[in-house]
Amino acid sequence: QEHTSMAEQPGALHLYPPSRGRFAVPRDHFRFTSAAQFDLTYLTYDAFARDARSPVLFYAGNEGAVELFYNNSGALFTLASRLGARLLF
């Protein structure tokens, strides 16, 4: 019996390739005295969605790279497939 290590198993990025997008957001969310901005990256996966009224499952990330959370959130993909939902990270 052959054993596959966790490092060799494909993650969600490989199993469910996302669409990527970016949008600019203000760097200062309190004073608005600066025009400085940074790009916020988001990932979406629509293959489970049935139509325009399908639910959206939204993962509000943390301080790390969005790809890490996407790649390690297998349960959300299982739930999305059962609900016919879109995913937004």
Q: What is the pLDDT of residues 18-68, one digit of tens each?
A: 999 999 988 887 887 888 999 999 999 999 999 999 999 999 877 889 999
pLDDT of residue 8: 65
Q: How far apart are CA 88 and CA 19, in angstroms?
A: 10
**Do residues 57 and 3 lie in contact, with contact meaning Cβ atoms separated by under 8 Å?**
no
DSSP state of 7: G
> Does the pLDDT value for residue 17 go beyond 90?
yes
Q: How far apart are CA 5 and CA 3, in angstroms?
A: 6
E strand residue ranges, 1-89: 19-26, 37-45, 56-58, 86-88
Q: How far apart are CA 57 and CA 14, in angstroms?
A: 19
> Does the pLDDT value for residue 6 go beyond 60?
no
Locate 42 and state its tokens.
């988001």
* Residue 20 phi, psi (nearest 5): -115, 145
Confidence band (pLDDT; 50, 70, 90) for 2? low
Whole-model pTM: value is 0.80
> Does the pLDDT value for residue 5 go beyond 60?
no
